[in-house]
Amino acid sequence: MGQAATLNPLLNFSDLPHFNLIRPEHVTPALDILLKAAHDAVQHASAPQTPATWEMIVEPVEMATEPLSRAWSVIDHLNAVSDTPTLRAAHAQNLPRVIEFWSKVGHNLALYEKYKCIVASSAYALLSDIRKTILHNAIRDFRLSGAELPEYKKPRFAQLHEQKAALSKQFSDNVLDATNAYTYFVTDDTELNGLPVDVINSARHMAEKDSRPGWKFTLHCPSYFPVTQYAEHRPMREAMYRAYMTRASELGPRYSCGKPQWDNTANMTEQLKLRAEEALMLGYQNFAQISLESKMADSPEQVIVFLDDIARRARPHAKKDWAQLQAFSANDLQLMPLKPWDIAYASEKLRRKLYAFSEQEVKKYFPESTVLQGLFRITEYLFDILIKPNSAETWHPDVQFFRVEDRDGRLLAEFYLDLYARESKRSGAWMNDARSRYRHANGTLQTPVAYLTCNFSAPVGDKPTCFTHGEVITLFHEFGHGLHHMLTRIDELSVSGINGVEWDAVEFPSQFMENFCWEWDVLTSITSNIESGEPLPRELFDKMLAAKNFQSGLVTLQQIVFSKFDMLLHTSHNPYGMLGVNTLARQVSDSCHVIPQASFSRWPNTFGHMFSGGYAAGYYSYKWAEVMSADAYASFKEAASTSGSVLNHETGARYRAQILEVGGSRSTLTSFEAFRGRQPSIEAMLRDNGMIT
């Protein structure tokens, strides 16, 4: 591979990816080589004459497939953050090849038997607990990948996975294209009334880039959400809300032939049919049962009971929230009836009346550089590390790069930070691994590298960007994911960092970090007024804290709607029946929520978590993990009662050792109990959401 690597940057694994050299035309040739090498290693491990030992089976397969995974991670990442027609085509062309390879590995009966032989051998008792966990995870995954299926069924099972992957990619592409396609131009400046100055300036800058007069607004979050929240011009709010809620649906733009453009309706149904077929082939009643095999929850029924319990507790608060908002809208704003495009606007007005501050007032205290420096200082103190800016090749000039070191200067990890929204970038915020920690057989240690991605407003001109408090929470959330990946001490590839962690536990470390955004001694260290340089005033912080659970009942019920819809879609819903996906979504919303859903709402059509993000029958994970994150954070609050601060070094060290460092090497429940001394309790989560005192 040496000479090829000098010609193809995707084959150079000596260090970090060479993003300035990677081109779409490199993708296919690189995968030709990597897929062959991985295939040959799997074939050798599967051969009858190859001894069934860890050293002859597991290690060679990992060593051969890890470069393939790393290269595809780069390709997949670029497809998400730097989309171009040629890259999208190269990704789409090669996605079936990658899926086909992993499908064949998954239902390779000979290889599956080798793993089972290792477990049954006398040498198994001599393996570490970590390697035993890896073997048992692998055997579970072989079974879920169809290894035990009759040979005549395996081609169809492989085809299912290829079709699911293609549909998932198409779903994501449709959402991005539909989001990019819509623009709302303003030429009458009276329509800008109420909008923050930085939003107006950004809209003006976007219009100038298009050589258009006036102001340009889009459906990307930094542009769309301020309009719904602050724009006094009601027709503008309505137009953008309708466009946002009908993206990638039959109600969106149409081709000249009249066919809906970027419509995901059929895509969702087809994905559900394939998932249902997969479940039946593997002997399960529904896809949710497959999904939960690698999660903490025992059954779909347990999840439904969990969600219904939270909904029951949240409903009285939600009813009160909704009645209050309706009364305020009628009496103070003369908005009767309150329409869906009025809710965010009226809520912000009500928040300002009740708590005497606005999010824009708070935003001035969160300039990017101050927030990042503060986040890094807090993390350094809690977890005894150092975070230093560094240089590396990136996919965009705005991307930053950092090293994570121990106190002696030894490299622990590195990460890329891509903060700003772009038209070529998928919406949302996420963490992905560029590579995982792994100690090679020769003793060489591969350190982890993470991608941390957000979609905040970019600076305009020479003015630095400022974050809303909600964006700060998002940044802390994604950094929590990153810490989980980067601070692992596990040297085995498949359970280091986030690898091998139960899917309904992966949000635990990320949601845990959000809690620090509500602490006075934390906010004083990550804020400085963009004009005066003064930190956040105590009076303003107290108002923010008082408003922390503003409409928490409504927010909680919305999460329950998403989670329950997801679980019902993968249990009782018949994708071959007459009940459409959006009809089910409306039924779930009507039964769970107190706010009526707009008749034109098609939010499932852009529900990427479920149809392109790996959360199918797993969206409940956010609430499930929130129970653990709130309870774990309560230990920091308890320590603060004696030390005076939640920034407690001793508790941080214990959290790092028992949660972050162990990765997926043991069950999350075991890790939680090692940290907390008991099983998690729901009380802290309810208290944090204002549902109990």
Exposed/middle/buried for 273, CB within 10 Å: 0-12, 13-18, 19+? middle
Helix (H, G, I), strand (E, B) or coil at 453: strand
Q: Write a three-state SS string for 598-655.
A: CCCCCHHHHCHHHHCCCCCCCCCHHHHHHHHHHHHHHHHHHHHHHHCCCCCHHHHHHH
What CA–CA distance (Å, rounded) separates 585 from 581? 6
* CA-angle at 177, arms to 172 and 178, nearest 5°: 100
Burial 103-125 (b: 16+ CB within 10 A, else e): bebbbbeebbbbbbebeeeeeee
What CA–CA distance (Å, rounded) separates 144 from 140? 6
What CA–CA distance (Å, rounded) separates 76 from 78? 6
> Which helix (H) or strand (E) segment is 404 a member of?
strand 400-405
Q: State the amino acid at position 689 in one-letter form.
A: N
Q: Which two tokens stand for residue 255?
A: 């081709």
Cα–chain center distance at 235: 33
Q: Which distant-in-sequence residues (6+ apart) come within 8 Å of 223 by Cβ?
A: 199, 202, 203, 206, 217
What CA–CA distance (Å, rounded) separates 571 from 566? 9
> Catalytic pick from 471, 478, 514, 519?
478
Phi/psi-derived region of residue 346, left when phi > 0, alpha when psi is between -120 and 50, beta in every other case: alpha
Phi and psi at 632, nearest 5°, equal -65, -40
Measured between alpha carbons, how far is residue 204 from residues 168, 189, 467 in Å? 35, 11, 19
What CA–CA distance (Å, rounded) separates 172 from 334? 39
| Euclidean distance between the first and the last CA atom of the chain, given in angstroms as a whole number | 63
Cβ atoms of 420 and 439 within 8 Å: the answer is no
Residues facing 450 on adjacent strands: 415, 433
Q: Which two tokens stand for residue 56?
A: 């002859």
CA 257, 262, 268, 270: dihedral to nearest 10 degrees? 50
Q: Which two tokens stand for residue 406?
A: 């121990």
Would residue 478 show up in a list of annotated catalytic residues for this protein?
Answer: yes
Residues facing 226 on adjacent strands: none
What CA–CA distance (Å, rounded) separates 468 from 471? 5
Cβ atoms of 602 and 246 within 8 Å: the answer is yes
Q: Give 158-161's long-range contacts (Cβ < 8 A, gap of 24+).
A: 158/100, 158/103, 158/104, 158/107, 160/274, 160/277, 160/278, 160/281, 161/99, 161/102, 161/103, 161/278
**DSSP type of residue 254:** B
> Angle of helix 538-546 relative to helix 343-355, nearest 10 degrees?
130
Burial 552-587 (b: 16+ CB within 10 A, else e): bbbbbbbbbbbbbbbbbbbbebebeeeeebbebbbe
Q: Which residues are catalytic?
A: 478
